Amino acid sequence: MKHVSAGALDVAYFEVGPADGEPVILLHGFPYDAHAYDEVSVLLAAAGKRCIVPFLRGYGPTRFLNEDSVRSGQQAALGADLKALMDALDLPTAVLAGYDWGGRAACLVAALWPERVRGLVSCGTAYNLHNVRTARRPSALDQESRHWYWYFLNAERGRTALVEDRRRLCGFLWTQWSPGWKFTDALFERTAASFDNPDFAAVVIHSYRHRIGEVIGDTRLDHIEQRLAEQPVINVPTSVLQGGDDGVDPPQPFKTDAAHFGGGVRHRILSGIGHNVPQEAPRAFADAVLALIS
């Protein structure tokens, strides 16, 4: 475990592989943590890559540097954190790979600062960027039903569940989103320890309230959200992996998302895999990274 001051955070991260290897930043989602990449990082390190695996804001040992910082979970905060981490580690470029919240951060940096990104691996929702201008517009009803937890966390009942019984709620999401993944209690508990971060609940609740327009974001990040509202094209080489059994972001026709990628994009659906692609299919995930830089 290493730590570095980066932007608003003291970021805790694992580093695996040779120090002079091609850098790859591996980014977890909600409700997971950096351990999602335990196997992926070993595979990439064996191929000579330097893997940097941070705990996102609100997870594990990562902490805010200032008590007055907004405990925001909005996409602009996640992307700003990632860029600040690259700056703090003196990484001019890197391959960015992630899913869920981590995929959103990776897509954001690839879209707004493409000169910093050697390649992108995005899982689940391929073009994983929200348009805050349409936050209050409903999606297709089947998608709204899969996002029931957004609305649960917008209610006091959901906030109480997350604060008082976060392991049970997060464990339920694991099983719903990855119905074929037979994870052990020990594996879940290794990650669930990250949910004990004192800012976990605040960051998560803000994330799911902000994305449907129920709370304002960190005003210092408005300029990023305004740029994202233009839905910028991602002009870096990209690999998209989607779990065929993903219970929250099942594969959709790729034609619409493909228009958002201008640097070349590969798309693969992984049969029998759910939402947590790197932990359920580490070899496929590692291969997608290596295909971008080998």
Kindly state the average pLDDT of the residues 83-102.
98
Are the C-beta atoms of residues 122 and 128 closer than 8 Å to each other?
yes
Residue 120 bridge partners (DSSP): 96, 238
Q: Band of the pLDDT at 255, cuts 50, 70, 90?
A: confident
Cα distance between residue 42 and residue 64, in whole Å:
29
Which residue segment(s) compose the domain that 101 sits in? Answer: 2-293
Element of type H or E holding 239:
strand 238-243
pLDDT at 283: 98
pLDDT at 182: 96
Residues of the chain with pLDDT > 70, as a percent, come to 100
Average pLDDT across the chain, whole number? 97
Are the C-beta atoms of residues 121 and 292 closer than 8 Å to each other?
yes
182-214 pLDDT, tens digit per residue, is: 999 999 999 999 999 999 999 999 999 999 999
Tokens of 253: 């026709």
Q: What are phi and psi of 236, to 5 degrees?
A: -130, 155
Domain harbouring 263, CATH code: 3.40.50.1820
Kindly state the average pLDDT of the residues 73-89.
98
133-179 pLDDT, tens digit per residue, is: 899 999 999 999 999 999 999 999 999 999 999 999 999 999 999 99
pLDDT at 133: 87
Residue 294 has pLDDT above 80, yes or no: no
Inter-CA distances, 197 with 160, 163, 168, 186, 209, Å: 16, 11, 16, 19, 20
Q: Within 10 A of 53 (CB to CB), how many other CB atoms are there? A: 24
Kindly state the average pLDDT of the residues 124-133.
92
DSSP-assigned letter for residue 234? B
177, amino acid identity: W
pLDDT at 235: 98
Cα distance between residue 15 and residue 233, in whole Å:
30
pLDDT at 140: 92
Inter-CA distances, 255 with 3, 212, 240, 249, 259, Å: 41, 25, 13, 16, 7
Are the C-beta atoms of residues 83 and 111 closer than 8 Å to each other?
no
Inter-CA distances, 238 with 5, 230, 268, 288, 293, Å: 29, 20, 11, 9, 11
Element of type H or E holding 200:
helix 200-210
What total number of domains does the chain contain? 1
**Residue found by looking up tokens 């569940």 in the block:** 161
